[in-house]
Amino acid sequence: MAVYSGFDGAALNVVEMGEGRPVLLLHGLFSSGEMNWRRYGAAAEIASAGYRVIMPDFRAHGASAAPHDPRAYPPDVLALDIEALIAQLGLTDFDIAGYSMGARTLVRLLARGLKPGKAIISGMGLEGLIGGTARADFFKKVVKQPDGWPAGSPEAFAAAFMKQNKVDGTAVGLLLDTFVSTPPDVLRGIETRCLVLCGRDDRDNGSAPALALELPSAALVEIDGNHMSAVTKPDFGTAIAAWLGHRL
């Protein structure tokens, strides 16, 4: 474990595993590098395929700083932080993957000019990238009211996940205001080779097949599971390692 600085000096917790070509793994909302990438074995599988796996905790998540100052949350703040991390690590030739919010951040990085070798956009569909603020508004509602939702409702599941991971509601509420949409014409201009990886029953962020069609150099792989469960499946890490290793 090491600590790096975000764009404004905020502490970012980073865990590395393995040796070889670097690959950054970006986690989802209310989650962490531990929850998304290490707990269910994806990071270990990717590392065992010959990669230096780099897993930051986003600000307001995991062991990273969770500032309450609104000035710490400009638009695209997560992309700004990852750009700062890449510079500090001295990475020039690397790959990158993201799940859910991490995938949204990855697309923002590509839109801002990042040029990785390969990119894996997972747990994300077209509407989740090009749409307005509906998805962020859903989570803002849960952050504001974490209790009292009907059992089994999407809000109850989101609130339980937030509580399980001890998320700072004030910080993540500010973070949710930083999301920036990516228009279709920008998606069509992304030249990086991409894998769109999603659970067959995951519709939380729209259509993964539609996203793959918009990207000029993309493959689509669907695995078992929905938005919460696909990331826990053995096929998740296997698909990423295979794509990185040119076996898809």
pLDDT digits (tens, 9 = 90+) for 172-205: 999 999 999 999 999 999 999 999 999 999 999 9
CATH classification (class only), 2-244: alpha beta
Q: What is the pLDDT of residues 110-119, one digit of tens each?
A: 999 999 999 9
Mean pLDDT of the chain: 94
Q: Which has more pLDDT, 142 or 51?
A: 51
Q: What is the DSSP string of 212-224?
A: HHHSTTEEEEEES
Query: How many beta carbons lie within 10 A of that of residue 96, not counting itself?
Result: 26
- CA 122 to CA 103: how far, in whole Å? 6
Report pLDDT for 193.
96
Q: What is the pLDDT of residue 238?
A: 96
Count of other CB atoms within 10 angstroms of residue 217: 11
Separation of alpha carbons 206 and 204, rounded Å? 6
Paired tokens of 210: 């539609």
Strands 11-17 and 51-56: antiparallel
pLDDT digit string (tens) for 124-161?
Answer: 999 999 976 678 888 888 888 888 889 988 888 888 88
